[in-house]
Amino acid sequence: MRKVQQKLSVARGERPAELLFKNARVVNVLSGEVHLTNVAVEDGRIVGFGEYKARKVINLRGAYLAPSLIDGHFHVESSMLTAGEFSRAVVPHGTGAVVIDPHEYANVLGLDGIRYVLESSKNLPVDFFIMLPSCVPATHLETAGACLTADDLKLMIGDERIAGVAELMNYPGVYLGMKSELAKIEAGKGKNIDGHAPGLRGKNLNAYALAGVRSDHESVDVDEAREKLRLGMHILLREGSTERNLSHLLPLINAHNSQNCSFATDDKLAGDLVNEGHIDHAVRVSIKGGVSPIAALQIATINTARHYRLQNLGAIAPRFWADFIVFDDLKNFRVRQTYKKGVLVAEDGKYLAKNPARVPLPRSTMNMKFKPHDFNAKARSGKIRVIEIIPNQIVTRQQIETPRVENGLVVSDTKRDILKMVVIERHHATGNVGVGFVHGFKLKRGALGSTVAHDAHNVVVVGTNDADILRVIQELEKRQGGQVAVVDGKVTAALALPVAGLVSDRPLAEVLRKIDGLNSAAHEMGCDLVAPFMTLSFLSLSPIPALKLTDQGLIDSAKLRKTSLFV
């Protein structure tokens, strides 16, 4: 801490403070109470409560003052915004810090992707703490742009902004004691180890926790979350754009275990961040669901800071940074002002901070090799496996259906909502093309495509006909990554994502307009999904059950092995 003697002198009342937040109802997440006091701030830090003289007085007139909110697990790439534009979206909602896993950047760019995030997230009104991606690639069943080993993680683990090792997605590898996975846990020793274990229960979960995994954000029901909580795992209560698990998990929380829970969004679209909110939305959902306001704010602040060892964040007390939110109603929670180190950075929904100059964009990441006939699915006798979308979930089901066949090829069947899906490897020009079919998009015409396709982020397209599927792929290549909607050979909406094929380099307002345009185009084509492109992006996520499609073909995700289109 710099200027220690000066701060001590201010704390003792011997000299005036730089700032005094007067008449504040402090939500004290340390003592679990609300108390009326004044809060003195010097050089961006809280120095004391009580009567102080100050060079500047901010009279809150009885408004509530709480610590800024913290997201315990987020992939910033899922917002399709740069770190600076992401800050513009969430700071008005009271976010002061995020623990991020740049898993998507790393799967495309390797260590260079993590370095880009570290550099581009400096000097913003949100503190970014990075968990080092542990599964690049996520599995051997997809082709990513890079491969990170435990030795790679060791190169960066010592950075003060590195909070630990990110979600161990290869959970069978962990509980079976694979050397590669245990080495990644060892590389993060002394810092946090995040988990990722959807549906894992019983003795294998015991082994997973024993290996050193400290948290989990994949629980979708109370019994699963409670079992993990009993084993000492910190539960990240997830509420994203498609992964909406919070309401289902609220019955887990009580006065005796809430300190072992945090909020996380995991993946949330830019429009949802702006319109619905970020962690403030999770606080509102929790309060509405019966959690006490103070407990909800503890989950949103100090619990996360303590779990990830974020020094001097997450509470209002001497030594902590003066990262505050101001609001007027404890039960009807709406952030009115956000402060960063005592500086007002957002008020009444308006972002007031100045972002630093942008760092140079990373290299191009579009490198494909394919021919149109690669999209053909030759017919044979029998039924086919079809991916079934489950709305608002990243898990899928497997359907067995009779295919529609034309000229010896299996084709889309819009009447039964069975549409062709194509995944093309885009990193190394391997020529890998996966072809499958999906139920749930309800497109009546055209095709949708994206270079955001968890976790390897190859090109993924769903469509009613091969001509529009091909046009989508050509447009994505031309834009060096992005999301595109095509109908009858014409582009109806598009968003370029030149930053690793994942993120736009454009301002927040422009990105929001184009995302709205893409969603409107998809809906006009017949799709009724709330977030069609995010749903599409998860259909290649090979570690998540039950059936997925990667550049290597159809994947039985429950057994982590390839399977065939025909049964």
**Structure-model confidence comparison of residues 405 and 241, the more confident one:** 405
Spatial separation of the C-alpha atoms in residues 550 and 447, rounded to whole Å: 18
Pairing between strand 69-74 and 343-347?
Answer: unpaired
Work out whether strand 162-168 and strand 127-132 pair parallel, antiparallel, or are unpaired.
parallel
Q: How far is CA 382 from the centre of its chain?
A: 40
- Read off the pLDDT of residues 465-488 as tens digits, 9 standing for 90 and up: 999 999 999 999 999 999 999 999
pTM of the predicted model over 0.85: yes
Residue 542: what residue type? S
pLDDT band (50, 70, 90) for residue 519: very high
Pairing mode, strands 409-411 and 404-406: antiparallel
| 298: alpha, beta or left? (left if phi > 0; alpha if psi -120 to 50) | alpha
Task: Compute the average pLDDT of residues 182-200.
Answer: 94
Query: For residue 556, what pLDDT band results from cuts at 50, 70 and 90?
Result: very high
Residue 539 pLDDT class (50, 70, 90 cuts): very high
Tell me the DSSP string of 499-555. BTTTB--S-HHHHHHHHHHHHHHHHHTT---SSHHHHHHGGG-TTSSSEEEETTEEE
Rounded average pLDDT over 270-276: 95
Q: Is the dihedral of CA 403, 404, 409, 412 positive or negative?
A: negative
Higher pLDDT, residue 364 or 524: 524
Mean pLDDT throughout 417-434? Answer: 98
- Residue 558 has a pLDDT of 85
7 band by pLDDT with thresholds 50, 70 and 90: very high
CATH classification code of 67-314: 3.20.20.140
Q: Is 234 helix (H, G, I), strand (E, B) or coil?
A: strand
Residue 42: name the closest of 316, 321, 312 by CA: 321
What CATH fold (topology level) applies to the domain 4-62? Urease, subunit C; domain 1 (2.30.40)
Q: Quick check: 556 and 141 in contact, CB under 8 A? A: no
Q: Do residues 464 and 354 touch, judged by C-beta distance below 8 A?
A: no
Local confidence band at 136 (pLDDT 50, 70, 90 cut-offs): very high
Share of residues in the chain with pLDDT > 70 (%): 100
DSSP string of 424-437, one letter each residue = E--SS----EEEEE
pLDDT at 530: 87
Of the given ranges (41-55, 136-150, 403-417, 418-432), which has the lowest mean pLDDT?
Answer: 136-150
Asked if the model's pLDDT at residue 268 lies above 80, the reply is: yes
User: 427: exposed, middle or buried (C-beta count within 10 Å: 0-12, 13-18, 19+)?
Assistant: buried
Residue-wise pLDDT for 287-334, tens only, equals: 999 999 999 999 999 999 999 999 999 999 999 999 999 999 999 999
Strand residues in 94-172 grouped as ranges (E): 95-100, 127-132, 162-168
Q: The tokens 């490897």 sit on which residue?
A: 425
Residue 318, Cβ neighbours under 10 Å: how many? Answer: 13
Query: Is residue 25 scored above 90 in pLDDT?
Result: yes
* Model pLDDT, residue 394: 82
Q: Domain map of the chain by residue range?
A: 4-62, 67-314, 372-562
d(CA 115, CA 93) in angstroms, rounded, equals 27
Greatest C-alpha distance within the chain: 89
Strand 234-238, strand 215-216: pairing: parallel
pLDDT at position 363 is 84
* String of DSSP letters for 446-491: -EEEES--TTTT-EEEEESSHHHHHHHHHHHHHTTSEEEEEETTEE
- Band the pLDDT of 392: cuts 50, 70, 90: confident
pLDDT score recorded for residue 451:
98
The predicted pLDDT at position 187 comes to: 95
Predicted confidence band of residue 357 (pLDDT cuts 50, 70, 90): confident
Q: Report pLDDT for 424.
A: 98
Confidence of residue 72 (pLDDT cuts 50, 70, 90): very high
Residue 531's pLDDT band (boundaries 50, 70, 90)? confident
179: which 2 tokens?
């050397």
Can you tell me which residue has the tokens 């503890």?
A: 298
Angle formed by the axes of helices 83-90 and 111-120, nearest 10°: 50
One-character DSSP codes across 152-170: HHHHHTTSTTEEEEEEE--
Q: Which has the closest alpha carbon to 196: 394, 390, 392?
A: 394
Can you give the pLDDT at residue 242?
76
pLDDT tens-digit series, residues 219-229: 989 999 999 99
